[in-house]
Amino acid sequence: MSDSYWTPRQPQANTRGRQLSATMDTKTIVLVTGANSGIGLASIRSFWESPKTYHILAAGRTLQKIQDAVAPIRDSPSPGHSTIDEIEIDISDDVSITNAASLIQGKFGRLDTLVNNAGGGNDTDYQNGTMSQREAWNRTMDLNVTSPQVMTTEFAPLLLKSADPRLLYITSGMSSLQEEHTRTTPGEARAPKYPAGWPKAERTAATNAYAYRVSKTALNMMFLHWVRLFEADGVKCFALSPGFLATNLAGDPELMKKAGAGDPSLGGDFIRDCVEGKRDEHAGRVIRRDGSIQDW
């Protein structure tokens, strides 16, 4: 893997001139995918602002975008004297994932936390005619299920070399089978009922998002399988449902805020809480930011 995929920096001094006191052996090495925006970027900032010491691997498809996004964070003080490297990973590309795992193996020899944050949805692409239904569903399933499955498989050996390995997935509050069955899924109360006959009128993407919802339900099943696989290895696994936050996943973040969406920083802090042990009693479950357990 060439240096064009990676921006290694020696742990000398941060931008405020303070000497880094911790060696790489004592830093918690955390990899976050989809780190150039939304909840992923918010988690990078949250780790950076923690009094604990991290070496943060901020990953995304385009190195320049990650560098641009992370630059303002690096220019601020880090109470824990954390450090950041940007790394290019396309989670839909097996070669990109394998190369990244090899690079991290060579530089650090382990990974303490993998945050499978990157994902997306293509329901609006189907609704506006830019993708067929099959294309939209296949792409959504690839991003939200297949890609984190491959990521976890490739990085599992590195996680197992950690003294405190943690594996996180970002799911959705709209993924519960029980809540769909009882019509208590968030958004269902305002969704119109369908009259008899065919075709059925499409709902708006914000309350529909069927491909996205199904993919996150599948992700939950995949997560539970990894809980079983890692049961004897001491890996703490979490599937996090961060709630309705103003990201670019479902459109314009500013419009989402006007609709009641929370700031992505809430999701970033939720991720950090799980890495720092504040939700360990709920390891192995799908958990919501408000402290509750999500029904299957």
Instruction: Return all residues near 215 (Cβ < 8 A) that are at least 6 apart.
Output: 119, 121, 140, 141, 143, 144, 145
**Whole-number Å distance between alpha carbons of 108 and 27:** 11
Q: Which of 46, 82, 216, 236 is catalytic?
A: 216
Q: Which of 212, 215, 236, 241 is catalytic?
A: 212
How many C-beta neighbours within 10 Å does residue 110 have? Answer: 17
The reply to whether 27 belongs to the active site is no
Q: Is the peptide bond before 199 cis (omega within 30 degrees of 0)?
A: yes
Q: Which of 50, 78, 172, 215 is catalytic?
A: 172
The reply to whether 216 belongs to the active site is yes
Handedness of CA 288, 290, 291, 294 (dihedral sign): negative
Please say whether the beta carbons of 268 and 243 come within 8 A.
no
Please say whether the beta carbons of 41 and 66 come within 8 A.
no
The reply to whether 172 belongs to the active site is yes
Kind of pairing, strands 286-288 and 113-116?
A: unpaired
* Catalytic machinery residues: 172, 212, 216
